[in-house]
Structure 1
Amino acid sequence: MLPHRDDTPADLDLGDLVMRVARDLRRSGMAAFEPYDLAPHHVRALRVVAHQGTMRLGELAQHLRVAPRSVTDVVDALESRGLARRSPDPDDRRAQVVELTDDARALVGRIDEARRAGAEAYFARLPAGERETLRRILLRLDADA
């Protein structure tokens, strides 16, 4: 059974609490791209290409953990909005690569900044020392994964 907001803290284990915080952060992060009329999967694709660089469509599908045909639809939508462009892979002309336009890179910068600001506001409820402790703990858990 999934935990609900009305569950008492004693009813929640660490996994439940981490998932609740992650959902809250995801919701506030989604607010960062609402003004741009982008779906969450479009933003994820933009962010992956922005941070990883030009890549084959198959690689993007792997990063997004979706089927290659799904990533084609996402890239089609981004391309139609002038945010991405496809071109033949210089190493294998049978394959295509996707890259972001300058407008898309600027947009990702604005979205990333808004997401960071939202996360900072979320965690500002904690004193600085507790935020730093939480950061160290999460970094350690992430490194061990």
Structure 2
Amino acid sequence: MEERELAELLHLVGRRLRRGYVHRLEPLGLNPGQARALRALAGARRPLRMVQLAEELRIVPRSLTPVVDALEEAGLARREVDPANRRSTLVVITPEGRALAERARDARRRAGEELFAVLSDDQREQLRELLTLVDEQFR
């Protein structure tokens, strides 16, 4: 068997993780982008401006509009005028959105647990440390 390069393996494992996550998000009525937005809103200490949420998600603000539209239509978030700057829009997570963010977090955790079940606890911890080291290089 041909040895795969590290980048290819990481890409394949990431795709498998994403598929498992998407599968678990479907019953919640969310896609990964919406789940990420809810997670960012739930983790913020206060409502975020649209531009702040886009920065947090590392996407351009115009790409965020359909995500927030969908969250708003589902009653998971709402837009409000920023009282500190009336030209800015805040995105406020609703109680329903906060609850669903927690369920989506659990779905992501379960997808990871299933994927990495073939590893021992020590191997998972070592992988976590190595990936954290790589990730910190680019922050």
TM score, norm. by length of structure 2? 0.88
- Mark the CA change 1:122 to 1:106 in structure 2 (over 3 Å): closer, same or farther: same
For residue 118 of structure 2, give the secondary structure of its aligned residue in structure 1: coil
Percent identical: 43
Q: 1:119 aligns with which of 84, 87, 112?
A: 112
What residue ranges of structure 2 are gaps of 5+ in the alignment? none
For residue 105 of structure 1, give the secondary structure of its aligned residue in structure 2: helix
Q: Give the superposition deviation at 1:19.
A: 0.9
Q: What is the RMSD of the two structures over their aligned residues, measured on CA atoms?
A: 1.7
> 2: distance between equivalents of 1:89 and 1:66?
21
What residue ranges of structure 1 are gaps of 5+ in the alignment? 1-7
Q: What letter corresponds to residue 97 of structure 2 in structure 1?
A: A
Q: 2:71 aligns with which of 69, 78, 81?
A: 78
Q: Give the superposition deviation at 1:92.
A: 0.5
Matched residues, number: 137
- Structure 1 segments, 4+ long, off by >4 Å, are none
> 2: distance between equivalents of 1:97 and 1:86?
6
User: 2:51 matched to which residue of 1?
Assistant: 58
1:19 aligns with 2:14: no
- Name which one, 1 or 2, has greater alpha-carbon Rg: 1
For residue 30 of structure 2, give the secondary structure of its aligned residue in structure 1: coil
